[in-house]
Amino acid sequence: MPPLPSEHIVKSYDEELARLTGEIQRMGDLALKELEAAIAAVVERDSDSAERIVESDKEVDALENEVGQDVIRLLALRQPMARDLREVMAALRISSDIERIGDYAANVAKRAIALNRVELVRPVFSLPRLGKLAAEIISEVLLSYRDRDADRALLAWARDEELDGLYTGMFRELLTYMMEDPRNITACTHLLFMAKNIERIGDHATNIAENVYFIVHGTQIAQTRRKGDNTASVVAKVGTGKSA
Amino acid sequence: MPPLPSEHIVKSYDEELARLTGEIQRMGDLALKELEAAIAAVVERDSDSAERIVESDKEVDALENEVGQDVIRLLALRQPMARDLREVMAALRISSDIERIGDYAANVAKRAIALNRVELVRPVFSLPRLGKLAAEIISEVLLSYRDRDADRALLAWARDEELDGLYTGMFRELLTYMMEDPRNITACTHLLFMAKNIERIGDHATNIAENVYFIVHGTQIAQTRRKGDNTASVVAKVGTGKSA
């Protein structure tokens, strides 16, 4: 049976949405690979690989531009409503979060290059652990977007707390190393900023999870969780301990 | 002469856009005040004021949500085209950048509280200077949005380079203090992160400028400038100097 004209329009809209979704999946896969490669570049002290990561981030940026243009065209020509409109708006927001994730991964790579130029007095095992957890969360969030699975998004969203805990521990550890021996200061400053970048990546992953939930349910995630950086108080404590 | 029905519709759309623009102006003013107050809280070592700033950031977040809802409603009911669509999409992006600026200002306030708990061995004059410049850029960018003045936006956009230069200098200065005397490490770590927050604020201000330009011209700013943090190489240099 040949499709009715109205189905034609629906199908064509679905195709455009599928294209948009595909672009976002591709962006997400690239950003995830960037993060994993950046962590590997730190561990293996591989500056050449780090340079390539910084370069490859341009691809993510280019895809974000494409998504932005597709969204504007889709809104103008298709005037989507209800869930369709949520899909389009969420695509825009998710692409912006993935772009930020790629940016932070590229920052980790940039600092890896700098870190390779200075003496590393102590090996730091926490960074790969932090990076691995962030990568896992991103991967889960991307799967939840692919399947429009709000429950999976919620589970990934909740794991950011684990990441924040790990980050706070690492922050404390690095500060102690710096105080122990000034020769650690330069390397530890790099590692502090790298850890901070990964902590921010976690926040953007939770934003994506929130958008997946919003697509499916049309509402915000009801649970509230204070996202992010608790190191302000940690530093105070470490500092107080030292100056006491 | 009574207005034609079509003018009625046009007027009503303009009213909705004016409402949206007003919300963004209000958001921008709040975020700017937050930053200025956060810097003052650092200088005056005023933790009570810093607490109030952290609290007041919720207002900015609430306004961002309002803008998001207004945008979705406007897109769904009015289906704007061309410049009107650019206005609406830019409003969404600008509100997200202002929300981030407020967030970073609140982070500066949080760290001000922690900084007040530790010994400040050296006074740091660079942070207020950095904060003042960032506030000036934000203020200019908000005026360029109010007047839809692309030239003014472009001028503000270009000043972010000045901010990045100041940030890099401050980063170098703080690292030197840390190496000089380990008692500086805790305070300087806070100041490093505060400076980083302000540097990021500058990036978001340039994003807003880019959106104002986009509203007016429908194209991206053609000049390209590598935004952001150049401290990766600075640290390497300082580090090399120390370990040589």
- In terms of phi and psi (left: phi > 0; alpha: psi -120 to 50; beta: otherwise), the region of A54 is alpha
Q: What is the pLDDT of residues B226-237, one digit of tens each?
A: 566 777 665 544
Q: What is the pLDDT of residues B121-179, one digit of tens each?
A: 677 778 999 999 999 999 999 999 999 999 999 999 999 999 999 999 999 999 999 99
- pLDDT band for position A168 (50/70/90)? very high
Could B81 and A76 be called an inter-chain contact, meaning their C-beta atoms sit closer than 8 Å? yes
Helix (H, G, I), strand (E, B) or coil at B188: helix
Indicate the DSSP class of residue B182.
G
CATH classification number, A7-231, choose in 1.20.58.220, 3.40.50.20, 1.10.1200.120, 2.60.40.10: 1.20.58.220
- pLDDT band for position B20 (50/70/90)? very high
- Measure the CA dihedral B89/B90/B93/B99, to 10°: -130
Residue A81 has a pLDDT of 80
| pLDDT more than 90, % of chain B | 66
Could A118 and B236 be called an inter-chain contact, meaning their C-beta atoms sit closer than 8 Å? yes
Q: Which residue has the tokens 């700033």?
A: B53
- pLDDT band for position B74 (50/70/90)? confident
Q: How far is B1 from chain A (nearest CA, A)?
A: 33
Fold type of domain B5-234: Methane Monooxygenase Hydroxylase; Chain G, domain 1 (1.20.58)
pLDDT of residue A212 exceeding 60, the answer is yes
Compute the distance between CA of residue B117 and CA of residue A240 in angstroms, rounded to an integer.
Answer: 8
Could A117 and B239 be called an inter-chain contact, meaning their C-beta atoms sit closer than 8 Å? yes
Q: For the ranges A2-6, A224-228, B116-120, B195-199, which has the lowest average pLDDT?
A: A2-6
Domain residue ranges in chain B: 5-234
Could A236 and B76 be called an inter-chain contact, meaning their C-beta atoms sit closer than 8 Å? no
Q: What is the ipTM of this complex?
A: 0.77
Q: For the ranges A63-72, A74-83, B181-190, B225-234, which has the lowest average pLDDT?
A: B225-234
Comparing CB atoms, the residue among B186, B233, B235 nearest residue A239 is B186
Residue B1 has a pLDDT of 46
* Cβ proximity of A85 and A17 under 8 Å: no
Mutate to test the interface with A, among B42, B75, B99 (most CBs of A within 10 A): B75
- pLDDT band for position A243 (50/70/90)? very low
User: How far apart, in Å, are the Cα atoms of B152 and each of A110, B31, B35, B91, B156?
Assistant: 32, 20, 21, 18, 6
| pLDDT more than 90, % of chain A | 66
B67 compared with B225, residue with greater pLDDT: B67
Q: How far is B9 from chain A (nearest CA, A)?
A: 18
Type and span of the H or E element at B102? helix B82-115
Task: Give the pLDDT mean for A27-38.
Answer: 98
pLDDT of residue A36 exceeding 90, the answer is yes
Tell me the chain A residues in contact with residue B235 when contact means C-beta distances shorter than 8 Å: 114, 118, 186, 189-190
Could A239 and B179 be called an inter-chain contact, meaning their C-beta atoms sit closer than 8 Å? no
Could B72 and A89 be called an inter-chain contact, meaning their C-beta atoms sit closer than 8 Å? yes
Across chain A, mean pLDDT equals 87
